Structure 1
């Protein structure tokens, strides 16, 4: 383990923690609004940084670079295509949420359907976080840290015990961070780390190209462009990790769900001080998605030229960082990826306690006719976070046995929970007489059939196409049920806004600019330009 890299890592990590502590030292964390929503007072830069870096975790650093190395740049579509979905959420869904003054996305489903739907969806969210989202963040963080600092070699222990050790270290540090700092500490950390990621996104490809060119960046670029140009292609074919057609089917639905319904993402935007600040923050996060391939994809592209064979392709990113970077840059990148794992894990933990305490625990106490004070809610939320953290740390190491790579595994499993929830949300918004029974039947049908298609029956279709087909079938099923048992009165949204709802005046201009940048990147990484 290089001492210089370790010192650099510790310096950056401590600096981020100190900045977060300083910015949140006067926050009141003894109320639900303070702990879960930063007292709904976040500005657009903090909202944007929080949205972007909560989305970016070690999962992306590891998983996307691995898929670029083993396949091509088609995996870039996950991040780039989400820009369009984010802008749609900013324009059409976020005003609905802020107008309702909701605390969680299931709150809106309760308003639109009934309490049973809210509880059903809350449980789905919790299961998704415990078995998929939180463990995958811990595992990818452990893989990155071990690859950068060669922990298993330094401690002279096997790979499997090392992953267990690092998963538990990250999990315990992350849980303490969330419990002591609340959502605002997470948001401040995300903003600082976002700046660091931008710097790393310039420095790492520069160092890698210089290493590839034996001291010359220009030579490195020439060598990169001289061979294996098929890896540059972001227009995925049917056999690629992300076929281009899936962008317009299941991927579009997953992105709409993620940015418009996923609790740990939406919670960041709900903490903004106004609709305009929320929309500006989403635009900032979109800009981050445009530049993110610098760290999430380009290193994997360069690794294709550096390594002809790797036994464990999940270690592509940490290997190229440790091989091409100075000790200071290695420590800096390690701090960014470690911070990415922590902040996403922290945001997920914060959201699990939000969902449990506000949607399950407090209603249960009210049903028992027992009063619950703010202090008791905070105490229960912190104990629940520790329980969830423990379960996630136990599950995380077993992801090492996942087939088809880490990133594909995560997206496949998340489809079990994501698109079904978005489906009933969308139908509920568009069909004012859709009854609650239709939402419940739709959820059960979608989850069951998707599980069968992925676990028991080989459909021969990409899982994203399966999601799109099931989306259409579920909508049709809900329409049939809605025609048979329509609501007596059409749904009318109640206004309960707690922030200013004046929209951002310049949002349409920036929407056009961001969409043009998104399209331009797809063109550059296509047979028209680089992938000749």
Structure 2
């Protein structure tokens, strides 16, 4: 009983402490509900950014990729630091100066309402169809393996449901998905962004402690109690090819892709992805926002310890058992942690799942209420009506996500599926935002059609033209190189349009924020240190012989 009790104890503690801290916060206005009243300080921003990112699609999915490919997949963590530096120095000052709540709002400011509406709808569909179901599915899968829910619940045999025989794994998956979905919906329904951000910070501390615990116990198991240094030595001697930061052409992220698709996906994710950067829009000042973003970068450098190393250890311990990539992490946690610590870690994992789920719901509600409800459905509606509409919409999306999540069980790799689906909308939106910021004469029609062409190209590659996916990957050497080609093509398309038929007058970003826009004086020095550390980490584990 120690596992369920420790799980319940930490979950209740985090919820109670969050309530005490945020119970008097204003949540009735759009700024209060979606941006925490623009009052977030750097520790809360960093904790919230980190935990919004660190859900089970990362913990389970990235460790699953490490189980398959080794240390090379740390690219998703380490290269993210460069993206966070770009966010702090380039994107964040412009977003905060504009005083926006959503990325599509910036595109309306820069281009026009049609571009805003298109991108807003793309975000809504992507979050509802891809992101939310994936968070629920990966969360349920990870908890099921970690807590051994089959034996804990006693559901070990198939049951007849609606006239069909349903296996126990499927019953547990559906039940866990709905448990997470209902809990997350309640948090999102009754709390605003600050409530979620504070809860994220509390759970983030627990998750870091728990993540390092997994690495500690896992390496001790490898060394049979001889310590973590001995465990790492054994791991390196037994699997030297799996501790190479460069990887090979056969890995999911060959080194060359760090400069094309991997870089672009990281830049979109950390610089223009509404689900993530909405936390930074709530900063109390530019300096607080920059410190929060760069602190997140420092914490991301520790990511390989708990997001990659356990997957490599799991390969060392369990590869002979024939387990799937995405079951590696949950199996490792169950095998190496004592029961009372397993319950604690499951609790912070639930916090991580709820964080990503709530971030997706909060961002979806902001996109819906500000970009669709206020623009199209009820332009004269009050802020209270906007927030109310957002809360109703969010419950509908959450319910739809709960029913869609278990259908992802057929995917061979959670993380590979996530990156593939994300690329469809990441690349065209990021191209439009970058060109919009850097080129003041590109007209609105160029941006609108760039999004349409980008979506059409990537959807055709993956779904609509048989054989196109494999042929284009072969032609470009890797899917991520093709994504780089699409991005450059869209940028050239918009710049050429701007040269042939430019805007009548150059666009200028107007100040629309009430917060202090004085930059953090140490932002550039901190950014330089982070970039040096990224290079050092890669160099320390690099071997170009593969």
Q: What TM-score range do you get, normalising by the shorter chain?
A: over 0.9
**Aligned partners of 2:207 and 2:352 also within 8 Å:** no
Identify unmatched segments of 5+ residues in structure 2: 158-167
After alignment, is 150-159 or 277-286 more displaced? 150-159
* d(CA) in 2 for partners of 1:116, 1:62: 38
Q: Does 1:498 align with 2:514?
A: yes
* d(CA) in 1 for partners of 2:247, 2:401: 33
Q: Does 1:315 align with 2:327?
A: yes
Identify unmatched segments of 5+ residues in structure 1: none
After alignment, is 408-417 or 5-14 more displaced? 5-14
| Equivalences for residues 44-443 of structure 1 within 5 A | 44-153=42-151, 154-157=154-157, 158-217=168-227, 218-307=229-318, 308-365=320-377, 371-403=380-412, 405-443=413-451
* d(CA) in 2 for partners of 1:176, 1:122: 25
After alignment, is 115-124 or 246-255 more displaced? 246-255
**Aligned partners of 1:49 and 1:187 also within 8 Å:** yes
SS in 2 for 1:42: coil
**Aligned partners of 2:214 and 2:333 also within 8 Å:** yes
* d(CA) in 2 for partners of 1:51, 1:483: 38
Name the TM-score, length of structure 2 as normaliser: 0.93
Residue 102 of structure 1 and its aligned partner are, at CA, apart by 0.9
**Aligned partners of 1:450 and 1:466 also within 8 Å:** no
| Equivalences for residues 444-455 of structure 1 within 5 A | 444-455=452-463
**Aligned partners of 1:36 and 1:350 also within 8 Å:** yes
**Aligned partners of 2:32 and 2:192 also within 8 Å:** yes
**Aligned partners of 2:427 and 2:486 also within 8 Å:** no
SS in 1 for 2:442: coil
**Aligned partners of 2:74 and 2:304 also within 8 Å:** yes
Partner of 1:4: 2
* d(CA) in 2 for partners of 1:378, 1:429: 30
**Aligned partners of 1:267 and 1:351 also within 8 Å:** yes
* d(CA) in 2 for partners of 1:38, 1:75: 34
Residue 393 of structure 1 and its aligned partner are, at CA, apart by 1.1
SS in 2 for 1:344: helix
Residue 171 of structure 1 and its aligned partner are, at CA, apart by 0.8
SS in 2 for 1:20: helix
Change (3 A) 1:521 1:361: same
Deviations 1:40-59 (A, max 9, x none): 00111001111111111111
* d(CA) in 2 for partners of 1:512, 1:43: 23
Residue 411 of structure 1 and its aligned partner are, at CA, apart by 0.5
After alignment, is 223-232 or 43-52 more displaced? 223-232
SS in 2 for 1:322: helix
**Aligned partners of 2:89 and 2:524 also within 8 Å:** no
SS in 2 for 1:409: helix
**Aligned partners of 2:70 and 2:308 also within 8 Å:** no
* d(CA) in 2 for partners of 1:489, 1:178: 42
Q: Select which of 25, 38, 49 maps to 2:23.
A: 25
* d(CA) in 2 for partners of 1:212, 1:6: 27
Residue 400 of structure 1 and its aligned partner are, at CA, apart by 1.2
Name the TM-score, length of structure 1 as normaliser: 0.96
* d(CA) in 1 for partners of 2:220, 2:448: 56
Residue 226 of structure 1 and its aligned partner are, at CA, apart by 2.0
